Copies of this chain bind each other. A is one copy, B any other.
Amino acid sequence: MLQPLRLDSMTNKTARTQYELFYWPGIQGRGEFIRLAFEQAGVPYRDVARKPGGLKKLGNLMKSGASEIPPFAPPFIRMGTLILAQTSAILAHLAPRLKLIGRTESDRLRAMQLQLTIADCIAEVHDTHHPVSVEQVYEKQKPAAKKRSEVFVSIRMPKYLGYFESILTAKRRMKPWLVGSRCSYVDLSLFQLIAGLKYAFPNAMRRLEPKMPSCCQLFERVSKLPRIAVYLASERRLPFNEKGIFRHYPELDR
C-alpha cells in the first residue's frame, strides 16, 4: 500500500523514516493539518505527546539548546536529526515525500501560497475567541470576542472561503483539486478549515454554504477518501472541543 519515500540526506539514517509529530495532546489544533497529511499518505507516525511521557519529551525539545533552531511553539516534527516547526513549513517539507503535492516547482509554490492563506484564516479564527490576549481565557474577553466574531463571520470568513471557491470554479479548470491533478496537502487543509468552521459557526456556515458549492464538494470528497474516512472514524481523530482553535460558543455564532 505504501509508496516508497524519497529520503534526503538529513533523514535517511534508516531505510524507513520514523516520523514523529509533537503537538499538544487533547486538541486537534494546528497539529491536525499534519496528522491529516500522514493519514492520507498512509505512513506510520508517532503522535508523541499523546503517549505516556510524551508531553515531557515535547517540552525538552523546545528548550533553548536542544536543537540549533528550537521550535517557538508546537506543532513540530522530528525526522532523524531534523527538528522542524511551523505548520506550513512542515507541510511544504513533508508533502513531496508523502506524495501529497506534484513534482513541479509551480505546483509546490502554489500550494505554499494557498497553505499560508489558510494559515492566515486559522489565526483569525483563533482570534475570534482570543481577540485581546492569548494569555487569558475566553471568558475574560467576551465582549471583544463577540465583536470580532461578528466581523469574522460576516466579512472575513466569506472573503476567505469565497477566495477558495473562486479558485475551484475558475474558467478552464478541469480538475476538482486546488493544485495539480491529484489531492494535495492543501485540499486536506481546506477540508480541515471547513470542518472547523462548521463546528465553530454552524449557523453562519449554513447560510454561507449555498454560496460555496465547490468548496462543499471538496469537503465531501476529502472526507470520503478511503484513508481519511477510516481516520475520521478512528480514535486517532480527536473531537473538536473548546480548548482548540475551532471552538463552538453559541453566543459567537449569530
Residues of A within 8 A of B (CB): 8-10, 64-65, 68-72, 82, 84-86, 88-89, 92-93, 105-106, 109-110, 112-114, 116-117, 120, 123, 127, 131-136, 141, 144, 147-148, 151, 155-156, 160, 163, 166-167, 170-171, 173, 179
Contact = CB atoms under 8 A, between A and B. Distances in A.
Contacts of A105: 8-10
6 contacts: A8-B105, A70-B167, A85-B113, A92-B92, A133-B151, A136-B151
Given A68-B110, A88-B88, A166-B64, A132 B148 contact: yes
A151 B132 contact: yes
Contacts of A151: 132-136
A101 B116 CA distance: 21
A64 B160 CA distance: 13
A97 to B, nearest CB: 12
A86 B113 contact: yes
Given A69-B179, A166-B64, A116 B89 contact: yes
A134 B144 CA distance: 13
Contacts of A148: 131-133
A86 B117 CA distance: 7
Contact of A69 (B65, B68, B167): B167
B113 A135 contact: no
A125 to B, nearest CB: 13
B10 A106 contact: yes
Given A117-B72, A148-B131, A155-B135, A106 B86 contact: no
B93 A109 contact: yes
Nearest to A114: B69
